[in-house]
Structure 1
Amino acid sequence: MLTKVFGSAVFGIEATTITVEVNIDKGIGYHLVGLPDNAIKESSYRIAAALQNNGYKLPGKKITINMAPADLRKEGSDYDLTLALGILVASSQIKAEAISEYLIMGELSLDGSLQPIKGALPIAIKAREEGFKGFILPRQNAKEAAIVDDLEVYGVDNIKEVIDFFEERINLERTIVDTRQEFYKELENPEFDFADVKGQESIKRCMEIAAAGGHNIILVGPPGSGKTMLSKRLPSILPPMSLHEALETTKIHSVVGRVKDNIGLIAQRPFRNPHHTISDVALVGGGTYPQPGEISLSHNGVLFLDELPEFKRSVLEVMRQPLEDREVTISRAKFTVTYPSSFMLVASMNPSPNGYFNDPDAPVTSSPAEMQRYLSKISGPLLDRIDIHIEVTPVPFDKLNEERKGESSSMIRKRVIEARNIQTQRFNELSGVHYNAQMGVRQLREFCVLDDASKELLKTAMEQLNLSARAYDRILKVSRTIADLEASKNIEGHHISEAIQYRSLDREGWLG
């Protein structure tokens, strides 16, 4: 008897429906075809034990299973439940007339209980697109899949529940998630707040400008000056994610199984903080069966690289294209996948190997040559993509000892949202440009027009401070954001002069 059951495979962040055809005939043997990997080939042992422990059996006949399309590589143990139900129906051990209306996925334990799967959200989206009535999957993934409207999602704990459901002995409880309620519930609970930061008002100002314009930023300062503390608070002042951004972010985290149990939607902007020993594949994504890397996991959020010069040069260089294109494409001989990677880069570093500026009062000092050698580990093209460079100095004791709290993240965020709204209106008719950091040459000419006094100021600064040519566009973008924070239609001289201060690493002789 021939039976068809439906599962799904995830490539990139999109799902493809897999038709599992099970045919049982005279003879003996178990043949699984359709490019399965080792985890799927081993499923026969898990299925046999799970069926045996629940009062069923693997029939002693010739079992042929085809996973179509047969030229598409399938991987992982998530097809166990799909294969097991196909075998039970094809061998007439159970009746399941409605099985073709459901997409079924789940990894089986030997006692028949189900383990969570990866990619539940993109699979659910595909199931709805292709007109399936429902999606049956492990209970741990049910809330994640139930974000998708117009699809019946049933979370189950073991294979016996699924069998009884199809034989109409029980009714499964449908998982229902109010997507908008789930989304708004998570918005106003930042883990870190700028109110906890003592002093560092100028750095907070830089963070506000970076958040308002989506600018990449690098903090340069000695150990203990607060670089990491400030960086961790940046997501708390970014504008809240839109529902579309939340779904897109959840989709990427779903593919790698990073959505926590019983959390349907990721509504907080991601903050990723990889260690400096990370490989280029782990950062950008890839592998034999490509998976998203850290830059895609930080999509719509912040990627924080602490101690930037300690990262391998090859790792930093592979970020150049994603920073520019806001997506990363991974190509293999038989397929290509594209992952979105629109993130804010926040980096921190010490100015020298021992961590201190060229300061006679510092515990240990480095010569200018040592400091220059250390800084040269970061290439010019990468620095070119970082709009704001700021020096962070240690907080004096009087500030640390103050009882008064600083300005809260919620107050700063209000100003950031107002500035972003101005940018949204400005770039309303442009595709791919949503905030100032994304402006190209054409938009700079149109929206960053300077009066004669501002032009003269910028010219003088570039000549006297020996700013590099690449600093010009960055200064214009940052000054446009500063003007937006003041709701100023035009860029004025004081906007330009403030933006010039934020190009420390472009100055010749910065190290003295």
Structure 2
Amino acid sequence: MAMRLARENAARQASGANPRAFLVAAGNGAEAALIEDLAVHSGTTLREVCAHFTPPHDRRLARAVPAALSLVPEPGPDLRDVRGQAQARRAMEVAAAGQHSALLVGPPGTGKSMLAQRLPGLLPPMSLDEALESAAVLSLTPGGFKPSRWGVRPCRAPHHTASGPAMVGGGGNPRPGEISLAHHGVLFLDELPEFDRKVLEVLREPLESGRITIARAAGHADFPACFQFVAAMNPCPCGYLGHPERACRCTPDQIRRYQSKISGPLLDRIDLQIEVPAQDQGEMLDGPAGESSEVVRARVLAARERQLARQGKPNSDLSGREIDKHCPLEPTAQALLRGAMARLAWSARSYFRVLKVARTIADLEGAEVLTTAHVGEAIQYRRALRTPG
């Protein structure tokens, strides 16, 4: 049904001052009427439909009433619940502001999942087009689209046992997978190395293109998959590499094999790679609460508005030429970034992703030119995985 909603919205926009009217089944009327300024009528029987088009006009079907929507969205998890972890909290703010992908690395119990679950509450509200596209994808699932989810960014968190078709979609009559159900929302993969490597590799294409194509003998199915990717993992198999109080039991070879489950090309496509270290018990239990999601979200919205006014898209979507145009660097900042690229053996993709993150950091401060402070912070967000020598 929502696929039709998207087409109807396009028709409404094309018709200008003379919008077309649409006649849908009674069960879909409330959903279709969610589109503003669109004339929608719903009928139960073919007789009612025929009567609608023949005189007398008093037998015409009434306009459908939009589904009741909650004016006050249900509050989600609040960032103030995460005590300490100042750098990781800051990284989540940067990720939300620029729509950047993120990987959280740290021992068990440090708050990685808590941070990821609070990211949707920092994101800007959905536009009408985004809400329509999200509803269109959800309408293809067995449960269908629920009006109560209108305008709510989806947050999908599949288990690490999820198969390839479950993740990307498939079946004889192809249906969208988890990456498409997260369209215009967040896809969170906890325990990232536990996922099958073949499943993880299929994420590379949609992370770049925002779409996934499923090929079948009978044809191809193309689904949208523009999601914000967030993942979490332990630094080693036992989980305690670098822990100040618990000794790691893993050998260097075991650590390398564990971390290498995340391929270089996939890791290259993750903008922020953040260390979430173990904390002092006093800070974790008795430390002051941090800023609330509402306070952080206000800064995120201001930064996102700067991006849309400047380039019409989030910083994560900037192309090569757009990066050159919209990411001016101070000479010292450029020298710092090029030095880091040479020292850390980055690919060109890593270089430009760090540059886009630095652009977002500058936007959070309202700065036009990228300084060494912006670039230095962005560089720190790509040094979470540290295999022992």
Does 1:424 find its partner at 2:308?
A: yes
8 Å CA contact 1:223–1:350 kept in 2: the answer is yes
| SS of corresponding position for 2:286 | coil
The equivalent of 1:92 in structure 2 is none
The equivalent of 1:249 in structure 2 is 134
Ranges in structure 1 where 5+ consecutive residues have no aligned partner: 1-119, 157-161, 429-433
The equivalent of 2:111 in structure 1 is 226
Kindly provide the amino acid, as one letter, of the partner of residue 352 in structure 2: D
Q: Distance in 2 between matches of 1:484 and 1:192?
A: 25
Kindly provide the amino acid, as one letter, of the partner of residue 360 in structure 2: T
The equivalent of 1:293 in structure 2 is 177
Correspondences of 1:12-411 after superposition (within 5 Å): 120-123=1-4, 134-138=23-27, 141-148=28-35, 149-154=38-43, 162=45, 175-177=64-66, 182=69, 185=71, 188-259=73-144, 263=147, 266-359=150-243, 361-362=245-246, 364-402=248-286, 404-411=288-295
Going from structure 1 to structure 2, the CA distance change for 1:468 and 1:330 (only over 3 Å counts) comes to: closer
| Deviation of 1:338 (Å) | 1.6
Kindly provide the amino acid, as one letter, of the partner of residue 388 in structure 2: L
8 Å CA contact 2:104–2:273 kept in 1: the answer is yes
| SS of corresponding position for 1:231 | helix
Going from structure 1 to structure 2, the CA distance change for 1:362 and 1:243 (only over 3 Å counts) comes to: same
| SS of corresponding position for 2:39 | coil
Q: Distance in 2 between matches of 1:126 and 1:381?
A: 36
Q: Larger deviation: 389-398 or 215-224?
A: 389-398
Ranges in structure 2 where 5+ consecutive residues have no aligned partner: 13-19, 52-58
Q: Distance in 2 between matches of 1:473 and 1:338?
A: 28
Cα deviations across residues 81-105 of structure 1 (Å, max 9, x unaligned)? xxxxxxxxxxxxxxxxxxxxxxxxx
Cα deviations across residues 226-272 of structure 1 (Å, max 9, x unaligned)? 111110000000111111111111111012144465x2652111100
Q: Distance in 2 between matches of 1:511 and 1:313?
A: 23
Higher helix share: 2
TM-score (norm 1): 0.67
| Deviation of 1:449 (Å) | 2.7
Q: Distance in 2 between matches of 1:362 and 1:439?
A: 42
The equivalent of 1:66 in structure 2 is none
| Deviation of 1:471 (Å) | 2.7
| SS of corresponding position for 1:248 | helix
| SS of corresponding position for 2:214 | strand
8 Å CA contact 1:283–1:315 kept in 2: the answer is yes
Going from structure 1 to structure 2, the CA distance change for 1:409 and 1:259 (only over 3 Å counts) comes to: farther
Going from structure 1 to structure 2, the CA distance change for 1:264 and 1:147 (only over 3 Å counts) comes to: farther
Q: Distance in 2 between matches of 1:360 and 1:123?
A: 56
Q: Percent identity?
A: 43
Going from structure 1 to structure 2, the CA distance change for 1:167 and 1:445 (only over 3 Å counts) comes to: closer
Going from structure 1 to structure 2, the CA distance change for 1:399 and 1:443 (only over 3 Å counts) comes to: same
| Deviation of 1:455 (Å) | 2.2
The equivalent of 1:52 in structure 2 is none
| Deviation of 1:358 (Å) | 4.2
8 Å CA contact 1:145–1:264 kept in 2: the answer is no
| Deviation of 1:366 (Å) | 1.4
| Deviation of 1:403 (Å) | 7.1
| Deviation of 1:416 (Å) | 0.7
Q: Larger deviation: 473-482 or 326-335?
A: 326-335
Going from structure 1 to structure 2, the CA distance change for 1:494 and 1:163 (only over 3 Å counts) comes to: closer
Kindly provide the amino acid, as one letter, of the partner of residue 413 in structure 1: R
8 Å CA contact 1:359–1:365 kept in 2: the answer is no
| SS of corresponding position for 1:134 | strand
8 Å CA contact 1:144–1:265 kept in 2: the answer is no
Larger Rg: 1
| Deviation of 1:510 (Å) | 4.5
| SS of corresponding position for 1:336 | strand
| SS of corresponding position for 2:306 | helix
| Deviation of 1:340 (Å) | 1.1
Cα deviations across residues 376-396 of structure 1 (Å, max 9, x unaligned)? 011111011101101101232
Going from structure 1 to structure 2, the CA distance change for 1:390 and 1:167 (only over 3 Å counts) comes to: closer
Kindly provide the amino acid, as one letter, of the partner of residue 318 in structure 2: M
Going from structure 1 to structure 2, the CA distance change for 1:479 and 1:127 (only over 3 Å counts) comes to: closer
Does 1:511 find its partner at 2:376?
A: no
8 Å CA contact 1:358–1:366 kept in 2: the answer is no
Q: Distance in 2 between matches of 1:450 and 1:171?
A: 64
Cα deviations across residues 367-426 of structure 1 (Å, max 9, x unaligned)? 222111100011111011101101101232222333743211111111111111111122
The equivalent of 1:497 in structure 2 is 376
8 Å CA contact 1:145–1:153 kept in 2: the answer is no
8 Å CA contact 2:33–2:39 kept in 1: the answer is no
Q: 1:454 aligns with which of 323, 328, 333?
A: 333
| SS of corresponding position for 2:213 | strand
| Deviation of 1:171 (Å) | 9.9
Higher relative contact order (CA 8 A, sep 6+): 2
| SS of corresponding position for 1:346 | strand
Kindly provide the amino acid, as one letter, of the partner of residue 317 in structure 1: E
| SS of corresponding position for 2:232 | strand
Q: Larger deviation: 496-505 or 289-298?
A: 496-505
Going from structure 1 to structure 2, the CA distance change for 1:318 and 1:487 (only over 3 Å counts) comes to: same
Going from structure 1 to structure 2, the CA distance change for 1:466 and 1:364 (only over 3 Å counts) comes to: same
8 Å CA contact 1:247–1:265 kept in 2: the answer is no
- State the Cα RMSD in Å: 2.8
| SS of corresponding position for 1:151 | strand
Kindly provide the amino acid, as one letter, of the partner of residue 326 in structure 1: G
Kindly provide the amino acid, as one letter, of the partner of residue 279 in structure 1: S
8 Å CA contact 1:504–1:510 kept in 2: the answer is no
8 Å CA contact 2:213–2:221 kept in 1: the answer is yes
Q: Distance in 1 between matches of 2:93 and 2:8?
A: 42
